[in-house]
Amino acid sequence: MEIIGAIVHQLTRGLSMEEIEKSGLGPYYIDHGNGLWPQAAGGIPFNACEFQCKGDPITDLFEDMAAEQKARSTYDNILRVVRNIPDVADPIKFLREREVVHFQRFGEALRSVQEQLDAKNFYAFNPVFDAPCMETCQDCK
């Protein structure tokens, strides 16, 4: 968020009102001035619904993986638009690479959780509460 905020600040610093209006930022400026107000490209404000949690490790890891892929896709789209602006593209490339690594690490964690469960039934229960591996898992004892 800090990197994106810095990019937005650098791109909008010193704009005149005419430039703000011409760029389509007029309504945004009226509500938020030059401040960063996180929202989707379609104008939907950021909210806690962006973070999903069910308390089930398998469900939550799939949600985490999906979030990383959605962020990577967004960065891919941004890079298509700013590819000729290195000051914007380079930090976005860095953020994109982090999403890929995070996706991989969440995938490794998911495999680890699944390996501790009965492979035929690991989608049928919440291991945090139901813990069928307790009898056979050495790490759980």
Q: Which residue type occupies 63?
A: E
Same domain flag for 85 and 119: yes
pLDDT in tens, 30-76: 888 878 888 888 888 888 777 788 888 888 999 999 999 999 999 99
CB 105 within 8 Å of CB 111: no
Same domain flag for 31 and 89: no
Same domain flag for 15 and 57: no
Domain count, the chain: 2
Same domain flag for 35 and 57: no
Same domain flag for 88 and 25: no
Owning domain of residue 136: 51-141
Res 29: pLDDT: 86
- Distance of alpha carbon 137 from alpha carbon 8, whole angstroms: 50
- Distance of alpha carbon 68 from alpha carbon 95, whole angstroms: 11
Same domain flag for 140 and 94: yes
**Strand-pair partners of 45:** 39
Same domain flag for 121 and 60: yes
Same domain flag for 88 and 41: no
Confidence class of residue 93 from pLDDT cuts 50, 70 and 90?
Answer: very high
Same domain flag for 70 and 134: yes
Same domain flag for 37 and 58: no
Res 125: pLDDT: 67
Same domain flag for 66 and 78: yes
Same domain flag for 77 and 121: yes
Question: Hey, what long-range contacts does 47-52 have (CB within 8 A, 24 or more apart)?
Answer: none
